[in-house]
C-alpha cells in the first residue's frame, strides 16, 4: 500500500475531500545544487492534489489523515496506460513503414500521422476500460485519522 498524509478540506456525509502535497524527489537527490530541474522545482509554487473518497471514520475539517492506494493497482494501471500504447505505436510505425511505400508514400514521416492517431485511440480505449474495470483495485482509501 502506498501511503500519504493529507488534510481534510471538505466533508459531505460519508464523502470527504482531502488535499495532499505533490512531492518532488529533488530534495533527496545528491546533485540538487548543480541541477537545473531542482532549481525549477524549488522556484515553482508547491502543487497539491485533491481526492474525494468515502470515510468509514469520523473526521473533521483540517484534520490530518493517512490515505493509501494499493500498489498492485498502480503498477497494473501504469503498465496498461504506458506499455500497451507504446507497443501499439511501435507496431503501427513498423507496419506502416512497410505498407505506405507500396502506395507511393515514401517519406519517413508519413507513417507517423496514422501511428499517432492509432496510439491515441488505443490510449483512450485503455483509459476508458480501466475506469470501468474493478474500481476497488485503483481506489484511494482512508487508512486512519491522525489525532489533532
Q: What is the pLDDT of residues 77-131, one digit of tens each?
A: 888 889 999 999 999 999 999 998 888 888 888 899 999 999 999 999 998 888 7
Measured from the Cβ of residue 17, the count of other Cβ atoms closer than 10 Å reads 16
**Cα separation, 34 vs 41, whole angstroms:** 13
Q: Which residue has the cell 530541474?
A: 37
- What is the average pLDDT score of the chain? 82
- How far apart, in Å, are the Cα atoms of 131 and each of 73, 77, 134? 12, 10, 8
Length of the chain: 148
- How far apart, in Å, are the Cα atoms of 105 and each of 89, 115, 132? 19, 15, 40
Amino acid at each position: 500500500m502506498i501511503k500519504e498524509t493529507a488534510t481534510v478540506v471538505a466533508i459531505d456525509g460519508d464523502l470527504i475531500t482531502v488535499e495532499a502535497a505533490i512531492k518532488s524527489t529533488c530534495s533527496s537527490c545528491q546533485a540538487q545544487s548543480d541541477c537545473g530541474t531542482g532549481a525549477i522545482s524549488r522556484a515553482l509554487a508547491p502543487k497539491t492534489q485533491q481526492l474525494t473518497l468515502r470515510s468509514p471514520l469520523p473526521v473533521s475539517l483540517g484534520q490530518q489523515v493517512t490515505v493509501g492506494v494499493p500498489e498492485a493497482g498502480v503498477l497494473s494501471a501504469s503498465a496498461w496506460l504506458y506499455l500497451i500504447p507504446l507497443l501499439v505505436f511501435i507496431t503501427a510505425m513498423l507496419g506502416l513503414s512497410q505498407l505506405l511505400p507500396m502506395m507511393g508514400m515514401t517519406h519517413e514521416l508519413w507513417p507517423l500521422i496514422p501511428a499517432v492517431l492509432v496510439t491515441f485511440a488505443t490510449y483512450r480505449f485503455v483509459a476508458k476500460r480501466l475506469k470501468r474495470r474493478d474500481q476497488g483495485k485503483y481506489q484511494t482509501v482512508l487508512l486512519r485519522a491522525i489525532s489533532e
